[in-house]
Amino acid sequence: MPNIEQLNKLIGQFGKLPGVGAKTAQKMAYFMLAQPDSAVKEFADTLLKSRDLIRCCPHCQNLTDRPLCPICADPKRQKSAICVVEKPEDVEAMERTRTFTGTYHVLHGLISPVNGIGADQLRIRELLHRVAEEEIEEVILATSPNVEGQATALYLNKLIKPFGVRVTGLALGIPVGGTLEYADSLTLTRAMENRRTFE
């Protein structure tokens, strides 16, 4: 560690970023100090302004800089279907497919007792409110197929079923372009169970 207190603080801040270790944080701090004052100010301003302008859409909880996010505000989107995802990045991934025309609901996390994240820390209340108040026909639970994602989906299924809404999940199987040889047994089992008839 360098012998300058303020520099160590700066390295500490960069070290908090995801995927940044001690060495990279140090590199970033030195990089920042080699920049002109205006560039550092722009970085700091962008940070503060982003945090200030970008908030959660009050309807679907996705990030947006408008009062209502573009998807919720779009009259062409099918309001009767909600695709429930873990985080804003998942909405983006889904939107890239250009096939889903319904709306989203972002949980901002998954139930994870190991990490101390309970159901009350997620945006589940807002989801149930939508299911109760709006004319919803289908809720697609699109959380990732890992332990936390599955647990969250099972929990949500139990809560939503009583409203008489169809609850579905994404298909599990071999990814397109994948090879049987390197697929894990669990994926292969699911792919076999959910095999489809050629048309």
Is residue 74 close enough to count as binding a second copy by CB under 8 A? Answer: no
Min dist. Cβ of residue 62 to a second copy (A) = 10
Range 89-114 burial, b when 16+ CB lie within 10 A, else e: ebbeebeeeeebebbbbbbbbbbbee
The correct pick among 60, 84, 88, 127 for binding a second copy (CB under 8 A) is 88
Q: x-or-dash pattern for a second copy, window 29-48, by CB under 8 A?
A: xxxxxxx-x-xxxxxxxxxx
Is residue 63 close enough to count as binding a second copy by CB under 8 A? Answer: yes
Range 143-168 burial, b when 16+ CB lie within 10 A, else e: bbeeebbbbbbebbeeebeeeebebe
The size of the interface with a second copy (CB under 8 A), counted in residues, is 51
CA–CA distance, 108 with 96 (Å, rounded to integer)? 20
Is residue 53 close enough to count as binding a second copy by CB under 8 A? Answer: yes
Is residue 103 close enough to count as binding a second copy by CB under 8 A? Answer: no
Binding site for a second copy (CB under 8 A): 2-7, 9-10, 12-14, 16-19, 24, 26-35, 37, 39-51, 53-54, 63-65, 70, 87-89, 92, 108
